[in-house]
Amino acid sequence: MQEKGTISIHTENIFPIIKKFLYSDNEIFLRELVSNAVDATQKIKRLASLGQYNGEVGEPLVEVSFDETAKTITISDNGLGMTADEIKKYINQIAFSGATEFMEKFKEANDANEIIGRFGLGFYSAFMVADQVEIQTLSYQDGAEPARWICDGSTEFEISEGSRTTRGTDIILHVNAESEEFLDKSRLQQILDKYAKFLPVPIKFGERTDSVPDGEDEEGKPKYMDVQSDNIINETNPIWTKAPSELKDEDYLSFYKELYPFSEDPLFWIHLNVDYPFNLTGVLYFPKVKNDFDFQRNKIKLFSRQVFITDEVKDIVPEFLMLLHGVIDSPDIPLNVSRSFLQADSNVKKINTYITRKVADKLNDLFKADRKAYEEKWNDIGLFVKYGYVSDEKFSEKAKDFVLLTNTAKETFTLNEYKEKVEPVQTDKDGQLVYIYTNDPDKQDTFIQSAGKKGYDVLLMNSPIDNHFVSHLEQKLEKTSLKRVDADVADKLIKKDDAPATVLTDEQVTQVKAVFEKAITKPNYKVELESLNPEELPVTVTMDEFMRRMKDMAAMGGGGGMGFYGNFPDSYKVVVNGNHKLITRILETGDEATQSQLAKQAFDLALLSQGLLTGAELTEFVNRSVNLI
Ligand code: ADP
């Protein structure tokens, strides 16, 4: 029995096109062939359970082996096998409606995955690395004959009697010259680790070198060595397939170590498990991150029925949770379609919402169950929570109960607690609550101390996300505004009716102002006289909250990239405290040089206290100070 035929697609030489097009992703041939083999072993089990197969099912097994000398890679399974007719039906008729459609579509496709999934070309991905592919198979059906199919990647194939004696299928790839990298143990191991590590059927992997000469046998024929080093390389029941009740903390931790061998233990994890309205299982871990934006994204692995698909889970996992680690397994995520399709997919949207809700609930539980432990972890989880709070409306609705504020005394508060704490002292004359914060407690220490003297609390906002967090708090909280502690002198941070009266006459104000304006030669520093508490510093340099935020936005590339904010100059206010003794002294001494020196000295001290005095100006200040003492 031998038969030749033509694979039924209408365009000649489609394989060279596929091959070339798919070249960059060619390692996925192994994923496709191994998952076909796994499917075949699962199908026979199913047939047996349905009573459609009465033979021995045996333990399912898939074997991947390679032979460097013969230049072959073989994927064998003890699955249901195929008859010659089935080969013709399933392999020869490529599962898509027509070559024309394929030709149209592949032009838009972005990667191999897209084509393979869309057109059921899984098997044909073998031609990315092989110039000849052979199938040896024996079907489970009563009286089935072994069949062999061979094809060289053109549209010509050949079917003949096969040599397989046990049920199942061997796919033998005769690796092409450009793909010899795959005839390497560590390379294949690496691909299997990536895609097959958690497949539900045991995968054996080893080198099979039966072509190494090994003397002669009794009849004088050359003997060959049969070198095998097989190992089961996968874990068929990874933890996400188990019920949470079966698992202990150690199981979650050791799985984490397995996925990310060099990471510190995670803070906690969430076991995902849904079957309606979509199917999804998985475990998401909150990693311990350093408090900067230098962490690793793309640490969540996406599986479909235990076959690894990708670690780009954008769109499926909400943006603010991209920093989580772990696995998600769902047969309901369309894995092989374009990004834009994925974004519009309703399952993907539901999955996204589900994950957000689960994470919020878990955080809420942790907070409620053990606030102290939660606070201890706040340093690490705060970043996620704040990121979610500013970027995800649904999450922020829940997070308002467990997002924490920390003050300079390292005390933590919920939003409600903080409001209650500061309301009595930090409400301004118009009934507006003013929260005061610092982004750099060392640099802004003078201001923090002054605010403290007035009984104000100062929040710590020094993480990378806090810029956004501050403006979101302002949007979300009623009648509340936030001011950085150096946005104004302490007396003016919160507008009250009890401003101290000025001791200066209008004429004196003009006079003092003139002295300072003359003494301060730095551009963009605007002098203003205020009547502050005499205990406050004589001179304070501040930057208006609004101006500073504009500048911050420009620095972060705001203004739609139009350079709109880019032109904001530094603009500082030099607040001269008219009630301070020094000002009286300046007025009393008639000597212009002394006046100027005193003004300069006071101004430099203000700059110094904020780390704004550097370089030649600092040197000049030091010299002047030495002269003065
Ligand atoms: P898909 O797997 O998406 O259907 P493939 O091109 O990978 O597309 O495979 C086509 C068909 O060939 C499969 O659906 C299956 O019926 C058959 N097949 C492929 N590999 C095997 C195998 N190892 N054992 C039995 N049947 C197989």
CATH of residue 580: 1.20.120.790
Strand ordering across the sheet containing 433-438: 458-460, 433-438, 480-484
What is the per-residue pLDDT across 237-288, written as a single tens digit (0 to 9) for each? 999 999 999 999 999 999 999 998 888 899 999 999 998 888 999 999 998 8
For residues 138 and 271, membership in a common domain is answered with no
Instruction: Check pLDDT > 90 for residue 389.
Output: yes
Amino acid at position 409, single letter: A
Last residue of a domain, one of 437, 464, 499: 499
Mark which of 474, 499, 524 sits at the end of a domain. 499
- Give the mean model confidence (pLDDT) for residues 216-240: 76
Question: Quick check: 586 pLDDT over 70?
Answer: yes
Q: What's the rounded Cα separation, in Å, for the pair 167 and 451?
A: 82
| Domain-located, residue 220 | no
Q: What is the pLDDT of residue 160?
A: 96
Domain annotation covers residue 228: no
Number of structural domains found in the chain: 4
In a domain, 21, yes or no: yes
- Candidate from 158-162, 339-343, 358-362 with smallest mean pLDDT: 339-343
Q: What residue numbers does the annotated binding site cover?
A: 32, 36, 77, 82, 97-98, 169, 339
Domain interval for residue 301: 239-379
What pLDDT, on a 0 to 100 scale, did the predictor assign at position 465?
Answer: 86
The verdict on 183 and 57 lying in the same domain is yes
The pLDDT of residue 123 is 86
Of 603, 594, 605, nearest to 628 (Cα)? 594
| Residue 562, pLDDT score | 44
Mean pLDDT estimate for the chain: 85
Residue 225 within any structural domain of the chain: no
Distance CA 480, CA 427 (A): 9
Distance of CA 44 from the midpoint of ligand 1 (Å): 13
**C-alpha pair distances (Å), 213 with each of 52, 208, 217, 223:** 45, 13, 11, 6
Yes or no: say if 356 and 308 are a contact pair by the CB < 8 Å rule. Answer: no
User: What is the per-residue pLDDT across 99-135, written as a single tens digit (0 to 9) for each?
Assistant: 455 555 555 555 555 555 555 567 888 888 999 999 9
26 and 160 co-located in one domain:
yes
Q: Which residues are annotated as a binding site for ATP?
A: 32, 36, 77, 82, 97-98, 169, 339
Question: Positive or negative CA dihedral for 171, 176, 180, 182?
Answer: negative
For the chain, report the end-to-end CA distance as a whole number of angstroms: 112
Least Cα distance to 482 among 528, 542, 439, 531 occurs for 439
Question: Which residues does residue 204 pair with via DSSP β-bridges, in sequence order?
Answer: 63, 232
Q: What is the mean pLDDT of residues 207-229?
A: 64
CA of 134 to the centre of ligand 1 (A): 14
Which atom of ligand 1 is nearest to 43's Cα? 25
Residues 343 and 430 in one domain: no
Residues 98 and 190 grouped into a single domain = yes
CA 553 to ligand 1 centroid distance, Å: 55
Q: Are the C-beta atoms of 29 and 126 separated by less than 8 Å? A: yes
Q: Which residues line ligand 1 (CB under 6 A)?
A: 32, 36-37, 40, 77, 79-80, 82, 90-91, 95, 120-123, 169
Cα separations in angstroms, 13 against 20, 100, 157, 177:
12, 13, 13, 19
C-alpha 91 – ligand 1 centre gap (Å): 7
Residue where a domain terminates, one of 181, 214, 247: 214
Are residue 362 and residue 252 in the same domain, yes or no?
yes
Residue 394 domain-assigned (yes or no): no
Q: What confidence score (pLDDT) does residue 320 get?
A: 86
* pLDDT exceeds cutoff 90 at 559: no
Query: In angstroms, rounded to a whole number, what is the distance separating the alpha carbons of residues 435 and 576?
Result: 24
**How high is the pLDDT of residue 229?**
59
Which CATH number characterizes residue 343's domain? 3.30.230.80
Is residue 429 a part of any domain in this protein? yes
Amino acid at 529: L
Task: Output the CA torsion sign for 106, 108, 110, 115.
Answer: negative
Residue 451 has pLDDT above 90, yes or no: yes
Q: Measured between alpha carbons, how far is 539 from 610 in angstroms, rounded to an integer?
A: 12
- What are the CA-CA distances from residue 267 to residues 89, 150, 326, 532 (Å)? 52, 53, 13, 48
Same domain, 347 and 419: no
CB-based contacts of 626, cutoff 8 Å, min separation 6: none
Strands 72-77 and 62-67: antiparallel
Residue to probe by mutation, ligand 1, list 36, 102, 124, 166, most atoms within 8 Å of CB: 36
Q: Let me know whether 318 and 328 are in one domain.
A: yes
Q: Is 199 exposed, middle or buried (0-12, 13-18, 19+ CB in 10 A)?
A: buried
Q: Which atom in ligand 1 lies closest to the alpha carbon of residue 32?
A: 7
588-620 burial string, b = 16+ CB within 10 Å, else e?
A: eeeeeeebbbbbbbbbbbbbbbbebbeeeeeee
User: Mutation test of ligand 1: which of 90, 116, 121, 336 has the most ligand atoms closer than 8 Å to its C-beta?
Assistant: 90
Is the domain of 327 the same as that of 444?
no
Same domain, residue pair 561 and 622: yes
The whole-angstrom separation of Cα 18 and Cα 154 is 11
Same-domain status, 459 and 469: yes
Instruction: Indicate whether 224 pLDDT > 90.
Output: no
